[in-house]
Amino acid sequence: MQVGTGKSVLNGIAIGKLKIYKKKDTAISAAEVADTAAEVARFEEAQQKAIEQQTALYEKALAEAGEDIAEVFNIHAMMLEDDDFVDAIKEIINSQKKCAEYAVKTAGNNQAAVFAAMDDPYLQARSADVIDIAQAILDILQGVDNASLQGTEPSILVAEDLAPSETVRMDKSLLLGFITREGSSNSHTAILARSMNIPALIQCKDIQDDWDGKMAVIDGYNACVYVEPTPDLLKSLKKRQQEDQKKQALLQELKGKPNTTLDGKTINVFANIGGMSDVGAVQQNDAGGVGLFRTEFVYLNCKDFPTEDYQFEAYKQVVESLAPRKVVVRTCDIGADKTVDYMKLDHEENPALGYRAIRICLTRRDFFKTQLRALFRASAFGKLGIMFPMVTSVWEVREAKRMCEEVRRELKKEGIPYSEDVQIGIMIETPAAAINSDRLAKEVDFFSIGTNDLTQYTLACDRQNNDLGRFYDPHHPAVLRLIRLVTENAHKNGIWVGICGELGADLTLTETFLAFGVDELSVTPRSVLPLRNAVRMTDTRESSERILSDLDSDYTAR
């Protein structure tokens, strides 16, 4: 028996034969070509096919993993049309008289190197995306079918690394798990594995070529792989796998059950969505409503500013389909890592702290007003709430509310129906908003805490920088204290408070949030039932006093 170790991206067990996944190594000629126009035409044809592929991958990822994951393929499609990338390829073909393959490979490597050398971690991460899209064009030019590399039998794939596109393209009925020598726990591929419930081991340096065809077990709980395990070990791991499957089946029995603790406290468990495509998952997983509808995808999916009618239809469809469930919609959160060319946003050295979200909305009033009109029109078809992201001050809230009032007056004058019962709230994502939450609470109907950004800004840690894993700690006492402060200030002012960041699904903190008195937790649809189970197993009479005491206890210096 051989044992390989690495980093686990999912607690789970995968059992099956190993299959070495090796990409075909096709040589690229550096010889000069006579007909450069023909090579440009070959490139443009392959480029168009690659864009169509990304669109197909987006739809596939949407169905299998949700909007957040799928969005990477929209980004890839846009990168394939990037002028700098395309012009560089054509210039190499025309000036150096090289074939399309050589030009794509060279331009891709050059642009990837440029991104990799940048100081901004987000832009550094784009390096891998450039390599991925360049490879997509190369595969088309060279007639490579990577899908065939998976084989026809269920197996655990072993590879140097996997791009998101490769993972999505695979037949999930044949993919038992995967092991890679490289990779990051925060990569798109790892996130994809977690979303699709695929046991995976990354950064496994013990991979051997002779593993191909051998029986193996990925043990996600202990971050290792057993190659040709002993009969006794295999038996015990099969038992663990069966127990996991039974737990999943038991979770299904929680549908229709209340989110009530053993001592009778009830909390709302809602879902985070990106659009209509997620509504089915909300219904299937029995979420009580939607705590975060990310409207930025409405903008990211358009090549120009989406019209009022286009937005109205997108919001109406979701609100109407989920009625009478509440749907809380986040207004446009474009900026930072989510940009669109048509907005012509300037390059920023630190985009996470820059021109984004409510800051764009309050300085581009016509743009904001278009969305607000669409939202209020949609409110006539169900139960809708509106919340503003990245708020730091009272004046921002008042200005946004003033615009809401302006929109209501206009719609009334035009005879267009809307609901008079639209709750207005804000996201608490900055320390400024958390510390000032006693004043902000007097302005709105609810708070929703975005723990991803709140952690990032509180700890001054870029959450997209993989090198900061140890320092980016969502359990940090400062973060938890801010969440508690926000909850207390909300309740003192008679408004409800929810959590819509990833921390809401962290079952190790469920007791803590219940102890704080959080009213709502909004999570990915597939996290709804596990969270409901955790709530129903909690007795706050036993935990609240201890948790609050630990948070308030004196700190002893060493």
Active site residues: 188, 500
The vertex-429 CA angle with 272 and 403, nearest 5°, equals 85
**Where do we find the tokens 């790892």?**
190
Tokens linked to 206? 């013990």
Pairing assessment for the beta strands 155-159 and 13-20 based on DSSP bridges: parallel
Q: Is the peptide bond before 121 cis (omega within 30 degrees of 0)?
A: no
Our CA dihedral for 174, 175, 176, 181, rounded to 10 degrees, sits at 150
Helix axes 477-492, 451-459, angle to 10 degrees: 120
Rounded CA-CA distance 387/110 in Å is 42
Strand partners for 3: 226
Tell me the residue length of the chain. Answer: 558
> For residue 177, what are the β-bridge partners?
156
154 DSSP 8-state letter: -
What is the Cα 518 distance to its own chain's centre?
A: 23
Alpha-carbon 473 to chain mean position: 18
Q: Between β-strands 224-227 and 215-219, what pairing exists: parallel, antiparallel or unpaired? A: antiparallel
What does each C-alpha distance from 54 to 136, 243, 311, 313 come to in angstroms? 9, 37, 24, 25
378 with 316: CB under 8 angstroms? Answer: yes
Say if CB 326 and CB 290 are below 8 A apart.
yes
* Cα separation of the two ends of the chain: 46
Partners of 449 in the β-ladder? 428, 499
Please report which helix (H) or strand (E) contains residue 227, including its range. Answer: strand 224-227
Q: CB-based contacts of 279: which residues, under 8 Å, 6+ apart?
A: 273, 318, 321, 322
What tokens were used for 445? Answer: 């109907």
Q: At what angle do helices 188-195 and 67-80 cross, to 10 degrees?
A: 140
Q: Which residues share a beta bridge with 13? A: 219
Calpha distance 282→123 (Å, rounded)? 33
Which tokens go with 209?
């070529």
